[in-house]
A and B are shown apart, each in its own frame.
Chain A
Amino acid sequence: MSFINYASREINCKIVYYGPGLCGKTTNLQFVYQKTAPDAKGKMISLATETERTLFFDFLPLSLGEIRGFKTRFHLYTVPGQVFYDASRKLILKGVDGVVFVADSQEERIDANIESLENLRLNLKEQGYDLDKLPYVVQYNKRDLPGAMSVEELRRELNPTNVPDYEACATTGEGVFETLKAVAKSILVDLKKGK
């Protein structure tokens, strides 16, 4: 849940990037980190294995600017995508305000995408959240790879509820900020409703 501090006039929100192993969650955060002005970002933290696989989470704090005198801050987290890190994934979803599901567009990863999406829904439910009620966007990553499925097919499999979705190539940064903006905006709109 977002944290509203009237004393320091700040609103802090938490965004979690979810998806199967090697789909590009960490790459998304790295691109955001590289392209953000130094005064708008904090240090990026990656708790990763020696082979640069996410072990626990990546973390990147961003400030977006002010709305009505309140500083808006977003904390971006990724989860470890590999199946056996499920216990860690559950922990990172605690207190989430918005979710980005990063799908790997390659045909051979479609089953992994579907499994990860089901896992997301289940883990959220365990924490008392409903994915259909959370600010939520989908990103089809790795559009540049030759084995990428068509967006229509991916949409049919991974986005049956028709939430905003974006094509991306996280290594070049294409679609990365569009995805982030969409989820951040959706969180703010939700806050506006004062849920």
Chain B
Amino acid sequence: MSNPQLVMYEEEFQEINDVIGRLLKEANSKVIFLVDKNGQLISGVGETERFDTTSLASLTAGNIAATGGLAKLIGEKEFSILFHEGEKDNLHISIVAGRVILVVLFDSRSSLGLVRLRVKKSSEELASIFEKLMKKSEEKEKRGSSDFPFAEITDDDIDNLFS
């Protein structure tokens, strides 16, 4: 498969939230989201309740996929940073560790330069957490450890969902 399954554990989830929480303050931004390239929201900090986070995640992933397609057409691997400027709010979108998307929403209280600078630093930290996460999943898979919640479900459990 092109992308192995993404599994998130409590410990790494906390570490990720710490990093993006700090980025939120340091970059003077309003909201920060982390989205899987397949469009699943991983986490968000800041004024998240103001937004339809699920839609935001799916559209961001679509956006990254479309610009990635454009990049390939002109012989680039990907465009790792996208910037959308609005009248009040702006979006800074970047790819972290080749597989997750970091979305920073900010207004005039911050600046593109500041956001870029802080994102760069946080991206490195996030990249190492995701690397750790991938290793952890791989090891668990190799050991065949059975904390996978779906290993023990029955056909009845599945049927009950649809009743």
Chain A residues with a Cβ under 8 A of chain B = 1-8, 11-12, 14, 42-43, 45, 47, 56-57, 59, 61, 64-65, 67-70, 72, 75, 77, 87-88, 90-92, 94-95, 127-129, 181, 184-185, 188-189, 191-192, 194
Contact = CB atoms under 8 A, between A and B. Distances in A.
B70 to A, nearest CB: 9
A-B complex: 9 closest residue pairs judged by Cβ atoms: A95-B38, A7-B13, A91-B65, A3-B40, A5-B8, A1-B5, A128-B2, A191-B150, A42-B54
Given A1-B1, A94-B37, A7 B8 contact: yes
Given A6-B13, A7-B13, A128-B1, 5 more contacts: A3-B8, A4-B5, A91-B68, A94-B65, A129-B1
Interface of B is mostly: mixed
A192 B54 contact: no
Question: Chain A interface mostly helix, strand, loop or mixed?
Answer: mixed
A127 B54 CA distance: 24
Interface stretch (B104-112, B113-121, B154-162): B154-162
A188 B150 contact: yes
> What class of interface size applies to chain B in its complex with A?
35 or more
Interface of B: 1-10, 13-14, 36-40, 42, 52, 54-55, 58-59, 62, 65-66, 68-69, 148-153, 155, 157-162
A130 to B, nearest CB: 10
